[in-house]
Amino acid sequence: MRTDDFDYPLPDELIAQRPAEPRDSCRLLVLHRESGKVEHRRFTDLIDYLEPGDLLVANETRVLPGRLLGRKRGTGGVAQTLLLRRREDLDPEGHVWECLVKPGKRLRQGAVIEYRQGGAHAPVTAEPLLEGRIIDYLEGSRGGRLVRFETRGALSLDEAIHQTGLVPLPPYITQYEGDPENYQTVYAMREEHSAAAPTAGLHFTPTLIKTIRQKGVLFGTVELEVGLDTFRLVEEDDPTEHVMHTERYRVGQDVVDAVHAAKAAGHRVIAVGTTSVRSLESAFDPSLPVSTPPVTARGFERAAGSAAFTGTGDIVACLDATTDLYLMPGSTFHVVDALVTNFHVPRSTLMMLVSALATREQIMAAYRAAVDERYHFLSFGDAMLIV
CATH of the domain at 11: 3.40.1780.10
Residues 272 and 124 in one domain: no
Number of H helices, E strands in the chain: 6, 20
Q: In this structure, is residue 187 part of a structural domain?
A: yes
What is the enclosing helix (H) or strand (E) of 251? strand 247-251
- Determine the structural domain holding residue 333 and report its residue range: 3-63+180-386
Whole-number Å distance between alpha carbons of 18 and 174: 10
Q: Residue 292 has what pLDDT?
A: 57
Question: What DSSP letter does each residue of 26-84 carry, written as one string?
Answer: SEEEEE-TTT--EEEEEGGGGGGG--TT-EEEEE--EE---EEEEEETTT--EEEEEEE
**Domain with 152 in it: what CATH number?**
2.40.10.240
pTM comes to 0.90
Q: Are residues 219 and 290 in the same domain?
A: yes
Are the CB atoms for 82 and 213 separated by under 8 Å? no
Give CA–CA dist 224/251, Å, rounded.
Answer: 9
For residues 187 and 319, membership in a common domain is answered with: yes
Report yes or no on 172 lying in a domain.
Answer: no
Judge if 85 and 39 occupy the same domain.
no
Neighbours of 18 (CB within 10 A): 13
Does 320 lie in the same domain as 199?
Answer: yes
Residue-wise pLDDT for 24-59, tens only, equals: 999 999 999 999 999 999 999 999 999 999 999 999
223 located within any domain: yes
Tell which residue, 298, 327, 312, has the closest CA to residue 386: 327
Residue 207 and residue 354 in one domain: yes
Where is the domain boundary, 100, 135, 166?
166
Helical axes 274-282 vs 349-357, angle rounded to 10°:
70
Residue 173 resides in a domain:
no
In a domain, 73, yes or no: yes
Statement to judge: residues 97 and 193 lie in one domain: no
Residue 44 burial class via C-beta count within 10 angstroms: exposed 0-12, middle 13-18, buried 19 and up = middle
Question: Based on the structure, what is the number of domains in the chain?
Answer: 2
Q: CA angle at residue 275 from 94 to 233, to 5 degrees?
A: 85
Between helix 360-372 and helix 349-357 the angle, nearest 10°, is: 110
Tell me, yes or no, whether 230 and 356 share the same domain. Answer: yes
**Which of 166, 192, 223 is at the close of a domain?**
166
Q: Cα separation of 198 and 342, whole Å?
A: 10
pLDDT tens digits, 238-267: 999 998 888 999 999 999 999 999 999 999
Residue 317: exposed, middle, or buried by beta-carbon count in 10 A (0-12, 13-18, 19+)? Answer: middle
Cα 281 to Cα 83, 249, 284, 343: the distances in Å are 26, 11, 5, 21
> Residue-wise pLDDT tens for the chain (387 aa)?
999 999 999 999 999 999 999 999 999 999 999 999 999 999 999 999 999 999 999 999 999 999 999 999 988 899 999 998 899 999 999 999 999 998 877 788 999 999 998 888 888 778 899 999 999 987 756 668 999 999 988 889 999 999 999 999 998 999 898 999 999 999 999 889 899 999 999 999 999 999 999 999 999 999 999 986 666 789 999 999 998 888 999 999 999 999 999 999 999 999 999 999 999 999 999 988 866 555 444 444 444 445 677 777 999 999 999 999 999 999 999 999 999 999 999 999 999 999 999 999 999 999 999 999 999 999 999 999 999
Asked if residue 29 and residue 73 are part of one domain, the reply reads no
Shortest CA distance to 342 belongs to which of 296, 283, 277?
Answer: 277
Q: Do 225 and 366 reside in the same domain of the chain?
A: yes
One domain for residues 294 and 184? yes
Amino acid occupying residue 141: S
pLDDT for the residue numbered 304: 42
Residue 134 lies in a domain: yes
Residues 362 and 308 in one domain: yes
Residue 105: inside a domain, yes or no? yes
Distance CA 33, CA 215 (A): 24
Secondary element (H or E) of residue 160 = helix 157-164
Domain boundary (166, 191, 221) is at 166
pLDDT of residue 202: 98
Domain assignment of residue 297, yes or no: yes
